[in-house]
Amino acid sequence: MHRSPTALIALLLMCAALGWAQNNPASPKPGSGVPQTPLPSTNSSPQQTPQPPATETPGTAPTGTVPSSTTQPPVAQPSPTGQQTPADQEKSGAQQSGSQITEEPLVQIPPATPAEPKTEILDSSATSGALTTDGHDPILDPAPVPRTTTTLVGGTISGVDRLRNRMTVKVFGGGHWTVNFDERTHIFHNGAETTQLALKKGERVYVDTQLDNNRHDIFARNIRVGVAALPADADGQITDIDTKHNELTLRDAINSVPVRFAVDQDTRISNGQTPAAFKDVKPGALVHVRFAAESPNRGLAREINIVAMPGAAFTFAGKITYLDLSRGLLALQNSSDDKNYEIHFEPSRTEATRRLSVGTEVRIVATFEGSRYSAQSVTVTKSAEALR
């Protein structure tokens, strides 16, 4: 078959164009998507052969060679689609530049050693000099005791709150006080120091109280539990008896003020030298009471001695210390108990009236009528002249 000269010329031109295009490829435009063929490097170092892209499985780490910490730069991996992104093109151009890029070797930092625990001692200056002045540690020790006036208060514990460290005291004379205590408080039971477990409802206490200006409450500096009050004595006449509440009212012989006394099972009652019961005590009886004071107008009777019951007869013997014939009254210093008794008598019916004088020794039989002693007989045992 014969080809025309025109066709042969055209074929030769196409072959020449293809060979020139292979030797001189055109630079692609940015974003054209045409991959750029890397130019041969003028560097004397051997050219790095691109590694084929590693096949990745979702959820697993990529396989392939791990770049070592050498001076060789990392090899750019072509994209899986066979096309390079603009960032890959910039990296590829940088690798094929005429100047060689040398990376700094990676320095491995050793792991940090964990810090060892240490104890820090606070300087005394951090506590404003308290450690050097009074030995008080403001961090661990409680606050110092208030520097206020101490007041002694006596009463009975009506309630104890051990969670809030406070107690309620029914004060002698009336009123209730809430008193706070803590580890600074000294608690004594019958003279021996003890703990707050000794504070019980109904116990008699005496408290050294102070006003805490910081908290505006009452603080107990010392608490004395189980201290028995000193007994006191009273003489007088019973004016009223309350058998329901076991109480009696006595008109004091000194100031004539009514005083109430409580009687319990431990109260000892006697009529002279004979033991008696509370039912034997009657209104109008003269008694001697030994009691423990709880308040100005009430106490607990420890002993009740019936001196005289209305209608009872008594014998007195001793010297006359006072005599008033117009009133029919004499005072006798009784020799048996060394007490002075006022005895009424009728001068006109007494045979020894003319022999009576101050200093005369007499023996008188008298009846107690509830308000006074009335003489039934008066006998002179020794005249005043004989005693001189």
pLDDT value, residue 132: 47
pLDDT band at 27 (very low <50, low <70, confident <90, very high): low
The CATH code of the domain at 151-225 is 2.40.50.320
* pLDDT exceeds 50 at position 231: yes
What pLDDT, in 10s, does the model give residues 49-107? 445 544 444 444 444 444 444 444 454 454 444 455 555 555 555 455 444 555 556 66
The 3-state DSSP class for residue 218 equals strand
Q: What Rg do the C-alpha atoms of the chain give, in angstroms?
A: 60
Give CA–CA dist 294/229, Å, rounded.
Answer: 8
* pLDDT exceeds 60 at position 127: no
- Do 374 and 345 touch, CB atoms closer than 8 A? yes
Which residues, 6+ apart, have CB-to-CB distance to 174 below 8 Å? Answer: 295
Question: Which range, 38-52, 252-266, 313-327, has the best average confidence (pLDDT)?
Answer: 313-327
Average pLDDT over residues 218-242: 82
Tokens of 37: 């063929």
pLDDT value, residue 90: 52
* pLDDT exceeds 60 at position 38: no
CB atoms within 10 A of CB 263: 22
Domain boundaries, the chain: 151-225, 231-308, 313-387
pLDDT band at 45 (very low <50, low <70, confident <90, very high): very low
Closest alpha carbon to 235 in 298, 321, 305, 332? 305
pLDDT value, residue 314: 87
pLDDT value, residue 60: 45
Closest alpha carbon to 207 in 147, 156, 161? 156
Average pLDDT of the chain is 75
Superfamily (CATH H level) for 231-308: Copper binding periplasmic protein CusF (2.40.50.320)
pLDDT value, residue 353: 86
Tokens of 179: 């008193």
Q: How many residues does the chain have?
A: 388
Query: What is the model's pTM?
Result: 0.39
What pLDDT, in 10s, does the model give residues 288-342? 898 876 554 567 888 999 988 888 888 999 999 999 999 999 999 999 888 888 9
Q: Confirm whether 151-225 and 313-387 share one CATH topology.
A: yes
Pick the CATH number of 313-387 from 2.40.50.320, 3.30.930.10, 3.90.1280.10, 3.90.226.10: 2.40.50.320
What pLDDT, in 10s, does the model give residues 348-384? 888 888 889 999 999 999 998 888 899 999 999 988 7
The 3-state DSSP class for residue 178 equals strand
Give CA–CA dist 179/173, Å, rounded.
Answer: 17
* pLDDT exceeds 50 at position 212: yes
User: Lowest-pLDDT range, 111-125, 130-144, 176-190?
Assistant: 130-144
pLDDT value, residue 298: 60
Relative to beta strand 313-324, strand 329-334 is antiparallel
